[in-house]
Amino acid sequence: MARRLSSLGFLGRFGRSHDLRLLDAALRAVDLHPALVPEGAKLAIVNMMKDAWPGQEPPEDAYAPVAHLFAYCLVGPDLFAEANGPEATAAAEARIEAALEAGEGMDADLVLLALHARLASPKVVEKYGLSAEEG
């Protein structure tokens, strides 16, 4: 089965694809306005999700945990905790620690995307000793 392509829309005539609308809604749900995330990063996220569900579209409920972790990476622990509470913050931090230990997987890819796109909060970078350098 061929992968369905994501669409940003064009001059208000063609709408955004369903996957990008779902990601935008999930970002809003964790108090991160989608306009704060570059379209290229959002396209990378939905493509990572499609890779995680080969041959089918990611389920709608898969967007919330992705947005949850990505938002934490972007805004940092303090702002994330203000908007989402201490339990959600602890869950995001546990996922980052597990991702860094594993070194691979969707969560690790999301952290890496935030870092390489220079979107990661300086507090997150410092807290976890993240670096974009290779080696």
Per-residue tens of pLDDT for the chain, all 135 residues: 344 556 555 444 556 789 999 999 999 999 999 999 999 999 999 999 999 998 888 999 999 999 999 999 999 999 999 999 999 999 999 999 999 999 999 999 999 999 999 999 999 999 999 987 654
Which helix (H) or strand (E) segment is 22 a member of?
Answer: helix 18-29
109-to-22, 24, 38, 56, 99 alpha-carbon distances in Å: 19, 19, 17, 20, 8
